[in-house]
A = this chain, B = another copy of it.
Amino acid sequence: MAPSQSVDPKFADHRYGVWLIGARGSVATTAIAGAAALRHTLADDTGLVTRTPGFPQHALPDVARLVFGGHEHGAGAGTTLTKRAEHLARAGVLPPDLPAAIRADLEDADANIVDGVARGHGQEHPSDGLDRLRDDIGRFARERGLRDVVVINLASTEPPTPQRPEFASLDALTAATRSGAHVLPASARYAHAAFSAGFGYVNFTPSVGAGIPALAELAARNHVPYAGSDGKTGETLLKSVLAPMFASRHLRVRSWSGTNLLGGGDGASLADPETAASKLASKGGLVSSLLGYPVDAPLHIDHVADLGEWKTAWDHISFAGFLGASMSLQFTWQGLDSALAAPLVLDLARLMVAANAHGRSGPVPELAYFFKDPIDTSVHDLATQATMVRQFAERLGSTPGRAR
């Protein structure tokens, strides 16, 4: 089968599942609502990176072919996608009339959402828990007749997960789990479930997710791809173009101070210092890494409830130029984080489905563009990352996929 600009037959006739962890959160709801809006041509494709020139559309499943489901727990479990969408419309994230117009799509996705796991561990034996999650995803694929599924973690950030001996190999992990030890945090249990079910996994949060040797082993064994971590939606996005600008011009950054104000559930979750540690770790080292030398870079995340879905970041960059001249740059970014994140979730679903169709397994560093803390690469410069992901998509578009 020769590659061509016509739509890849494997994507024309099938539907693909997107299984979201945190399926009734703001990002998930916006992604589901946005996909429905695109399907009904109620919105254009603004924000979707894979719809910019250079991405071979025939090589990627159309957004209209994506079917949504997922796990939800805690507060989110008591609501519905429709209610969440109405809230987001009031907050300016969704157009006012959209929730009513796509009500059927929201209800359809809502029916695919099942109880997940809370951060802690309940009465369930850990092996049973992993089996249950895996079966939830498998059932979704089977019952909805899906050609492939990609699991994407959009749940609230977890506290940092220290590595432990049981994580060192799949055998060690399996032995510990069978013995009844609850060693895996929630994000890792979902990654385990995805890989066990034979599906790819994307970690859009700074939680540990698939970042455990035992899970890498499981992904390799089951020939499935994974990507992450921590979606790059605002302040870090700017860092990834501004820091290379300073480097390119040989201007020496002396300090890079940042303050993030955010409301909403994400803000409340990050107000917990233990949780914030994960996010700060994911964001913090970036500037030094991009510049190649250590930089004084204090960074704060504050929960400011009244900001609702808005995220405001102020960064102050002090830098030296020729002959030591001292200068500065400040910026204020005012973004609706869900509106920034949701199209990337759809981009990642499209790319991961295509990657899996082409037999790609293990980490996919070519997707660094989307992440604050990209897996298996030290490339943080957005322009280089953009070339990486476009070339990756082009390669997918010029070679036939495997049968799945």
Contacts and interface: CB of A to CB of B under 8 A. Distances in A.
B98 A323 contact: yes
Contacts of A323: 30, 33-34, 37, 43, 46-47, 93-95, 98, 339
Interface stretch (A144-152, A178-186, A190-198, A304-312): A304-312
A326 interface: yes
Give this chain's copy count. Answer: 4
B312 A304 contact: no
A361 interface: no
Contacts of A327: 334-336, 339-340
A75 interface: no
A57 to B, nearest CB: 14
A382 interface: yes
B306 A318 contact: yes
A24 to B, nearest CB: 18
Interface stretch (A168-176, A238-246, A392-400): A238-246
Interface string A14-41: 0000000000000000100110010000
Given A241-B241, A306-B255, A329-B334, A321 B296 contact: no
A402 interface: no
Interface string A281-311: 0000000000000001010101111110000
Contact of A339 (B51, B257, B321, B343): B321
Contacts of A43: 322-324
A321 B334 contact: no
Contacts of A330: 314, 331-332
A316 B321 contact: no
Contact of A332 (B332, B335, B339): B332
Nearest to A93: B325
A306 B296 contact: yes
Given A52-B247, A324-B95, A306 B254 contact: yes
Interface of A: 30, 33-34, 37, 43, 45-49, 51-52, 90, 92-96, 98, 237-238, 241-242, 244-245, 247-252, 254-255, 257, 259, 261, 296, 298, 300, 302-307, 312, 314, 316, 318, 320-336, 339-340, 342-343, 381-384, 386
Given A46-B320, A322-B339, A325-B339, 10 more contacts: A93-B323, A96-B96, A248-B382, A248-B386, A254-B306, A255-B306, A298-B304, A325-B336, A329-B331, A383-B383
